[in-house]
Amino acid sequence: MGLLLPGRPGRRRPRRAALVALLGLTAIVVSGCGSDSEFERLAMPKPATEEGEHTLDLWQGAWIAALVTGVVVWGLIFWAIWRYRRRHDDEVPVQTRYNLPLEIFYTIFPIIMVIVFFDHTIQTQNQVLNNPDDPVENTVYVVGQQWSWTFNYEYTPEGESEPVNVYEVGTGSDIPTLHVPVDTTTRFELRSPDVIHDFGVPAFLIKMDVIPGQANHYQVTPKTTGEYAGKCYELCGVYHSRMLFNVSVDTEAEYEAYLEQQYDAGNVSQGVICGGENASTQDGLEATEGETEESNSEEVCL
């Protein structure tokens, strides 16, 4: 018995060292979660909106939880391999049929993780989508048509009391630009007259399907002025690759000047949202074999 006693504390040292290493790794991962570099954002783009910050937090939190869980599992696997390896005396380790505390742990803990993930996902979703009945400062109706985008804005001309709809229609050869004001919450109401598209801006850290007959929406609050790129994320047809658009985050004065410019250009409709016609009538798209190529780019109002 005297020979066994000195060995017992030594067996606890690897466990303590592993615990310290795990806690140290967790602290390093948590402390490194910022948003200044792509490494800290875990390959996510730098969020250009307030809502994007919530998406980034959810992304980083999920990775932290996954890494901590992985370290625990890997640590237990390698500890079991080392601790219960075959000895030189070929003594078979004690065979345990079950371990009730361990079984309770690996049953309850995953359930707790799923509940926590679900709760944080719902909170993030509420921050980004909001309720369609809640008031917002600005609304842009986005129409995805084969194969470009139309952006509709509400504008009240000087000296008028009733607002009108002004819009910009993209074509196959002319990439449209979406304008939104900085420090203002803008809701995108998403519509499609033909097939399923997907409206997304990587810098906003959100995208959403644009489905015929279904009114989808989400909102953004840009933090700084700047230029960004957007595109369709849904394979929607032969010219899907041309469904690109630019985003300009403007000051309030620049935004109002843009709306006035569209109004003066005659891009106006009374109380309806507009979108482009099908691919065969858009400039810049060559007709396929057996089709007649047309070159007009008239708009269709929904």
Least confident piece of the model among 8-12, 42-46, 52-56, 105-109:
8-12
SS3 46: coil
Cα(107)–Cα(119) distance, rounded to whole angstroms? 19
Q: Give, in order, the Cα–Cα distances in Å from 132 to each of 8, 127, 184, 287.
A: 64, 12, 17, 40
Residue 197's pLDDT is 93
- 259-274, pLDDT tens digit by residue? 999 988 888 876 556 6
**Phi and psi angles of residue 245, each rounded to the nearest 5 degrees, phi first:** -155, 160
CB atoms within 10 A of CB 254: 14
Phi, psi of 89 (to 5 degrees): -90, 5
Q: Which is more confidently placed, 145 or 173?
A: 145
Rounded to two decimals, the pTM is 0.71
Q: In the prediction, which pLDDT does 164 show?
A: 84
- Could you report how far apart the first and last alpha carbons of the chain are, in Å? 89
* Chain segment 97-126, per-residue pLDDT in tens: 777 888 888 888 889 888 988 888 888 888
d(CA 156, CA 260) in angstroms, rounded, equals 9
Confidence of residue 135 (pLDDT cuts 50, 70, 90): low
Averaged pLDDT, 202-221: 88
What are phi and psi for residue 252, nearest 5 degrees?
-60, -40
DSSP type of residue 302:
-
Residue type, 209: D
**Mean pLDDT within 148-164:** 85
Confidence of residue 88 (pLDDT cuts 50, 70, 90): confident
**Which domains, from first to last, does the chain contain?**
11-129 (no CATH), 138-301 (2.60.40.420)
Contacts 24+ apart (CB under 8 A), 288-296: 288/238
Tens digits of per-residue pLDDT, 28-39?
454 445 556 656
131 confidence band (pLDDT: 50, 70, 90): low
Per-residue pLDDT for 84 more than 70? yes
